[in-house]
Amino acid sequence: MALHTLTIQAAHNLLVKGEITSVELTRAVLDRIAEVDPAVRAFVTVCEEEALREAAAADACLQSGEGVTPLTGIPYGAKDCLSTARVRTTCSSAILEDYVPHYDATVIARLREAGAVLVGKQNMDEFGMGSSCENSAFFDTHNPWDLDRVPGGSSGGSAAAVAADMGLFSLGEDTGGSVRMPAGFCGVTGLKPTYGRVSRYGLIALASSFDSVGPLAHDVHDAALVTQAIAGQDPYDSTSVAAVVPGYIAGLDRDLRGVKLGVPVEYFAEGIEPGVEAAVRAAIDHLTDLGAEVQVVSLPHTDYAIPIYYLILMAEASANLARFDGVRFGLSTPLDGGDVIDRYLQTRAKGFGDEVKRRIMLGTFALSAGYYDAYYLRAQRVRTLLRQDFERAFEQVDAIIAPVCPTTAFKLGEKIDDPLQMYLSDIHVVAANPGGVCSLSVPCGFSEGLPVGMQIIGPPLGESTIFRIGDAYQATTTWHLDRPQMGQ
C-alpha cells in the first residue's frame, strides 16, 4: 500500500485502528516529496524535522485516544502566503525570502489543534499575482500531468502537490480563482469559501476584500473535512462571519432529487475549448441523471468581472504592499547615500518582481486624485451589479454549474509575456470573489489528456449545498480518482 496516495478519510481509518502510524505516513509523504518534487517544484520550504516531531505527537494522541480528530496525524502543505511560526513564509517573493513569522495564521493554528502535520510551504505566484505559478521569485512550478505545462495560479504549488501525492491535502488561498483554477488544471478538488467563512488572520493580504483561504484535496469529502476544521468566526479577523458552521460531512447525503442547478449562458460563450465544453456539459447531464433539475440562467454583468476584479485588486494590493518598505521586516537595502525615501525605492525595486510592480503602479494610478471616481469607485459600483446578478440567479436555483476555465492547462511560457491574455484566463473564476459567493472545483473529465474542472457555485454561506452536489457527483464518477504517472 502506497501511503502517500491515501485520502484523508482512508488514512484516518488506518491511523485510529493502529494499522499505520502518523510517523510512517509522514515519512512516506516526505519521501514522495524527495522523489518527485525536483521535477514538479511545488515546495519552497520542506520542514522535515518539525513534521516528524508533530507526527510523533499525533501518534501519542492516537495511542491515548484523547483529542483525536479526523485530521490527527494527517500530513499537509500550505501555500506560502500563510504565516507559520518558526517556518519561513516568503509569498514566493525576494522581499520576504528570509522572513520567519513568530505566529501562526488562524487556519494553521486550527489545523495544529486538530493534530494535522505540516510538511512544508508551497510555491505560488509572487504575492498571489498570477494565474500560472510562473511569477514566483524562485522557480516555476510544473503541472504533474504534463511537466511542460503550468499548474495554474496563484496556488499552483498547492494544487500540484496534491495532484502528485506530496501531501494528503493543501491549504490554498483564492483571491480571484487562485484555488479553483489550479485545482481544475491539476485534476484535484478545491474550494473557495464564502468571504468571511474562514479567517484571514495571518494571511499576507493581496486584496483584502477578496481573499479567501480554502482547501485542495483529492475529493469533496476530504475538502469538507478540512473546511470543517478551519471555518468559523475568529476574534482576530473582524471580517469573519459569526454564522454557525454546519456539519459539512453530515450534509453529504448524495440525494440530488429536487436540487435546482443553473447553467449560465455567459460561461459557454465563444473561446471555450470544445473538449472543455464537452466535459462540463457531460457532467451536467450526469447531474441530471442523479435527479437534479437543470435550467438556463443569466449573469448579465459577467463581461465586467475581469475589469472590476483587476481594478479593485490592484488598488487594494498597492495599499497592502506599501508595508514592505525595508524598515520593519523582509529585505532591506542598505543606504548608500540618499535618504530614507531612497531606501524604500531601492528595497522595493530589488525585492518585487515585474508583475507585482505592474499591479502596484496600476493600483496606485486607480486610487490617485482625479482618477479615484473614474476607476476605483466605478468598479465598486459595478461590483454591486455583479453581486445582484448572483442574488437573482439564486432566487431561481440552488447552485450554478460552469467550467472552471475555458481551456486546459497552457504551456509554460505561453502567456507570461502577454499580461492581458494571462488575465483573461481567469474569466470564469474571478466573478465569485467580487460576487461574494462560494465555489467548488471538481474534476469532470479530460481534454487531450489534460484535466478539466467543473465549477459548482453556491450562494453566500452555501458551502453545504455545493459539497453535497460535488460529493454526489464524485460518488458516481471516477475522474477524481485519476492520478498523473509520476515516480513509483
Active site members: 79, 154, 178
Residue the block writes with cell 529585505: 331
What spatial distance separates the first Cα and last Cα of the chain, rounded to whole Å?
12
**Helix H or strand E segment including 244:** none
At a CB cut-off of 8 Å and minimum separation 6, what does 187 contact?
145, 163, 443, 451, 453, 479, 480, 482, 484
- β-partners of residue 171 are 78, 215
Q: Which three three-digit cell numbers place residue 76? A: 499537509
Question: Within a 10 A sphere around the Cβ of 240, how many other Cβ atoms?
Answer: 20
C-alpha to C-alpha distances, 479 to 130, 225, 377, 445, 454, nearest whole angstrom: 27, 20, 43, 6, 11
259 secondary structure, DSSP code: -
**Helix H or strand E segment including 214:** strand 212-217
- Kind of pairing between the strands at 260-264 and 189-192: unpaired
In the three-class reduction of DSSP (H, G, I as helix; E, B as strand; rest coil), residue 212 is classed as strand
Full strand arrangement of the beta sheet holding 450-458: 43-46, 117-122, 75-79, 169-174, 212-217, 189-192, 438-447, 450-458, 399-403, 260-264, 293-297
- β-partners of residue 403 are 454
